[in-house]
Amino acid sequence: MVSADGEPEERMIEAALRPKSLDDFVGQKRVREQLSLVLEASRLRGRSADHVLLSGPPGLGKTTLAMIIAAEMNAPLRITSGPAIQHAGDLAAILSSLSEGEVLFLDEIHRMSRPAEEMLYMAMEDFRVDIVVGKGAGATAIPLDLPPFTLVGATTRAGLLPGPLRDRFGFTGHLEFYAVDELERVLRRSAGLMDLAVNSAGFAEIAKRSRGTPRIANRLLRRVRDWALVHGVQQIDARSASAALDMYEVDARGLDRLDRAVLHALVSKFHGGPVGLSTLAIAVGEETETVETVAEPYLVREGLLGRTPRGRIAMPAAYEHLGIEPPAGYAA
């Protein structure tokens, strides 16, 4: 996913903080080891790497890994996304201009149009596309050979991908939320690059509020940096970090505005549920997919929200977190 931060400075910093090699990439041990083997084997065979599918919530490192794959394979990288490919022709234009061994990163691959998806099947499997020329009865398909390339697809939910597409990836890696100590390592590295003085307790406080997500950790670090600058704080500690983050309405558990809105709606409008996902999304004024892929995974992991066959429910910890008494007879 592309950063939601619009400012060029923020984006420049984000780019500068991206790890450039697998060794620099913090956490996700299993995916890192498996990927490293896939890349090493293709280097030894002198072939382009197998297609790679990366899944997981936004901000966990999918784009970063695609960049690392290209760097480790010494190959150029092309970046595009599902929503940018509306017609099969858009995809044909990209595929036919790839150079040998190039890595094509396709973000939000589940949002590609159906005809483009079908073209991709053949391109991934046979390195070939059929370019359709003309319309109606006179249309003819001209086969076009493609150079071998590596597709790196990213999706916030692998379950949304049709089976035939999923099956064409040689390697699938699922990225998990990061543990607090891993986020501390991300923050230490970033603070070093930004030349910021933060003590251990300061790192721990920011990491705890980062929602298991490196992108958020780096963003909070920048907000804390601003706060420290304005308040003339030389070394950031737990107190200054928490004062800064309270100001930005990041709560002690790292929940953001959307997370809290979902919990609030669940508890106050729907009496703790169960309530259907789309109804819940309407209540918070968000798209269903955003609630499902951005807010929910973390709320579930934190034991605040439950998914049941009858709908979403608030867990006891949600009432506790919001400081609201559960209704009489509540038993989630």
Nearer to ligand ADP, 173 or 272 (CB): 173
Nearest distance in Å: CB 187, ligand ADP? 9
Among 78, 208, 209, 215, the one annotated catalytic: 215
| Token pair listed for 50 | 């197998």
Active site residue 63: yes
Strand partners, 154: 54
* Residue type for position 128: R
> Residue 223 to residues 76, 230, 257: CA-CA distances in angstroms?
34, 11, 16
Rounded to whole angstroms, how far apart are CA atoms 26 and 241?
Answer: 22
Kindly state the number of chain residues that form the binding site for ligand ADP, as judged by CB under 6 A. 21
Could you tell me the smallest distance in angstroms from the CB atom of residue 133 to ligand ADP? Answer: 36
Encode 138-205 in three state secondary structure. Answer: HCEEEEEECCCCEEEEEECCHHHCCHHHHHCCCEEEECCCCCHHHHHHHHHHHHHHHCCCECHHHHHH
Please name every residue paired with 145 in a beta bridge, in sequence order, or none if there are none.
128
Q: Is 181 a catalytic residue?
A: no
215 tagged catalytic: yes
Residue nearest ligand ADP (C-beta atom): 61
Residues between 172 and 191 with contacts to ligand ADP, criterion CB under 6 A:
186
What does the DSSP 8-state code read for residue 136?
A: G
The site string for ligand ADP over 60-79 (x = CB under 6 A, - otherwise) reads xxxxx---------------
Q: Which of 31, 42, 48, 58 binds ligand ADP (CB under 6 A)?
A: 58
* Binding of ligand ADP by 1 (CB under 6 A): yes
Stretch that binds ligand ADP, among 20-28, 233-241, 256-264, 304-312 (CB under 6 A): 20-28
- In contact, 314 and 332? CB cutoff 8 Å: yes
Catalytic residue among 64, 155, 156, 293: 156
- The answer to the question of residue 59 lying near ligand ADP (CB under 6 A) is yes
Position among 17, 91, 103, 228 found at the interface with ligand ADP (CB under 6 A): 17
Nearest to 152 by CA among 218, 76, 207, 236: 76
DSSP state of 97: T
Regarding 55 and contact with ligand ADP (CB under 6 A), the answer is no
Residue 309's contacts (CB-CB under 8 Å, 6 or more residues apart) are none
Among 5, 10, 19, 121, which residue interacts with ligand ADP (rule: CB under 6 A)?
19
Check binding of 264 to ligand ADP (CB under 6 A).
Answer: no
Residue from 208, 215, 222, 225 in contact with ligand ADP (CB under 6 A): 215
| Phi, psi at 25, each rounded to 5° | -75, 115
Residue selected from 27, 153, 212, 297 as contacting ligand ADP according to rule CB under 6 A: 27
Give the separation between CA 139 and CA 196, rounded to whole angstroms: 62
Tell me, yes or no, if 107 is annotated catalytic: yes
Q: Which of 63, 64, 155, 213 is catalytic?
A: 63
Q: How many CB atoms lie within 10 A of CB 284?
A: 20
Residue 307: helix, strand or coil by DSSP?
Answer: strand
Does 152 participate in binding ligand ADP (rule CB under 6 A)? Answer: no
Is residue 307 part of the contact set for ligand ADP (CB under 6 A)?
no
Residues annotated as part of the active site: 62-63, 107, 156, 215
Q: Which residues bind ligand ADP (CB under 6 A)?
A: 1, 14, 17-19, 25-28, 58-64, 154, 186, 214-215, 218
